């Protein structure tokens, strides 16, 4: 099962590699979901979102949200983890503070069918 600490470590490595490989962070996301089963993917959604909440860089924030979306796809369920609504509300505020034009948080809310709460 992915843990937030493991995600932090592997993300830090990807960020170190980013200057030499522009696809390092995308590869980090793909590697995180490559060999994970649906149960562990579901259990890893919140840690990925916790990691997103810690980010001050918009690209990394979006990458963490994209990872959560990929994990949701692997989990193959629209059932949402406990406290997801409050976490997404917090992430939406963070997304706006980062002045991002993206809507990753809204994409997550749409996937889990809780768009009206965000």
Instruction: Using CB atoms within 10 Å of the CB of residue 5, give its burial: 0 to 12 exposed, 13 to 18 middle, 19+ buried.
Output: exposed
Whole-angstrom distance, CA of residue 47 vs CA of residue 11: 13
Whole-angstrom distance, CA of residue 100 vs CA of residue 52: 13
How many residues comprise the chain? 118
Q: What is the pLDDT of residue 86?
A: 95
Full-model pTM: 0.86
Rg (CA), the chain: 13
Contact 61, 45 (CB under 8 A): no
Structure tokens given for 63? 């990458």
Q: What is the pLDDT of residue 4?
A: 61
Q: What is the pLDDT of residue 8?
A: 78
Q: What is the pLDDT of residue 12?
A: 83
Strand runs labelled E in 1-118: none
Contact 31, 14 (CB under 8 A): no
Using one digit for the tens of pLDDT, what is the confidence trace for 33-85?
888 889 988 998 998 999 899 899 898 899 999 999 999 999 998 888 999 99
Report which of residues 38 and 3 the model is more confident about: 38
Phi-psi region of 65 (alpha: psi -120 to 50; beta: other; left: phi over 0): alpha
Q: What is the pLDDT of residue 10?
A: 81
């Amino acid at each position: 099962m992915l843990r937030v600490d493991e995600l932090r470590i592997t993300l830090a490595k990807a960020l170190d590699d980013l200057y030499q490989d522009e696809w390092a962070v995308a590869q980090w996301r793909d590697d995180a979901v490559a060999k994970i089963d649906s149960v562990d993917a579901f259990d890893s959604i919140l840690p990925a979102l916790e990691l997103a909440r810690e980010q001050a860089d918009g690209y990394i924030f979006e990458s963490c949200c994209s990872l959560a979306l990929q994990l949701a796809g692997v989990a193959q369920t629209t059932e949402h983890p406990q406290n997801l609504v409050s976490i997404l509300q917090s992430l939406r505020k963070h997304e706006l503070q980062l002045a991002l034009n993206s809507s990753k948080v809204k994409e997550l809310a749409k996937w889990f069918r809780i768009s009206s709460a965000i």
